[in-house]
Amino acid sequence: MASKKLMMTILWIVFVFLQSCANGKPQVPCLFVFGDSLSDDGNNNNLVTLAKCNYRPYGIDFPKGPTGRFSNGRNMIDFLAQLLGFEDYIPPFATARGKEILKGVNYASGAAGIRNETSGQNQGDRISMDRQLKNHETTMSEINRMLGNNHNTTVEYLSKCIYSVAIGSNDYLSNYFLPQYYPTSRLYTQQQYAVVLIDQLSQQLTTLYQYGARKLAVFGLSEIGSIPLERSLCGNGTKGSACVDNINNAAQLFNDRLKSLLSQLNNKLTNATFIFINATEIGATSPSLASMVADVPCCKVSNITGLCKPFGNTCSNRSQYIYWDAIHPTEAMDALFAGRAYKAQSPNDASPFDISHLAQL
């Protein structure tokens, strides 16, 4: 029964892919990506940081091998780009050059946060959301030059693009819940911290709007307390379960406020459409996940970083694992999440609608 459910999910994803590619051209002219390691496709490769993965076994199932994606294969953004009809992957800002930027740029960075200090003390360099916005400003200037230095033409072009924003996990896992490095949890209650994060994210999303973004898909947090790294840090037994629940509850406070914020921005900002992708709901209501390994990673990981050890062993049945390393999902999971974000299977997957509808606006 479990394998049958998994097969049905795979067939559904294939069906969605075929539908999205039917017209032979992208549904939107470009896709711009902001976020953390769930979306990063190579921006951290040349940074002095622990948050990099341009080595085997990362990329073991990716045609180009290790590229800086925190996955055994494609990540969520790769699948989303395919669903939107793009033939090529969206290039990372670190290497994006020439006319390819007209189809979009990926600014996401492993360990990045909404707050600038997030991950800095325990991970090293990373490109925070504020820095990603600065990088996008550079791209915009270049696009404007390519389009004849016509501001109105550039604004019109960008208004048709989709902007993906998936960030916030590190502001909890590599900030609030690391009191040995950061004072955040002593300064704010969980409720207060959610307000602080959402207020800053609101400013960042408004900046994107001012830059010309009109179609924005913003991802909520998944149950970040349930990843293998946090399970191991929390320990086993009742105390461990309470610890995991505490982290997940904090993430839910953030999600509730994020959904409310996006509704407010839709009412406040003219001609803008912000949609909320409910990652927690998708993870909790996908029947095929019940048959997958959820408590341990597929690769042999470092106890310090939770990332795969260089050239370490991996499981052979990778499609049966939810987590590739102790933090990040496998390619199979990324396909599932991208599929339901693009084409909702439940009314609770996305609000007010999914990415396929956002593309049609």
Which residues lie closer than 8 Å to 220 by C-beta, 6 or more apart? Answer: 254, 255, 258, 259, 276, 277, 278, 279, 280
- Which among 78, 226, 328, 349 is annotated as catalytic? 328
223 torsion bin: left (phi>0), alpha (psi -120 to 50), beta (else): beta
Which residues lie closer than 8 Å to 170 by C-beta, 6 or more apart? Answer: 36, 111, 112, 113, 118, 119
Identity of residue 73? G
Cβ–Cβ < 8 Å for 121, 181 = yes
Is there a catalytic annotation at residue 357? no
Which residues lie closer than 8 Å to 43 by C-beta, 6 or more apart? Answer: 68, 92, 93, 94, 106, 107, 108, 109, 110, 127
Helix axes 190-211 and 237-268, enclosed angle (nearest 10): 40
Identity of residue 338? A
Is there a catalytic annotation at residue 151? no
Compute the radius of gyration of the chain from its Cα atoms: 19
CA distance 297 to 229: 9
CA distance 300 to 314: 6
CA distance 98 to 88: 15
Dump the DSSP string for 136-169. HHHHHHHHHHHTTS-HHHHHHHHHTSEEEEE--H
- Which among 61, 78, 171, 325 is annotated as catalytic? 325
The single residue listed with the structure tokens 């998994």 is: 6
Q: Measured on CA atoms in the order 351, 116, 247, 169, is the torsion positive or negative?
A: positive
Active site residues: 37, 325, 328
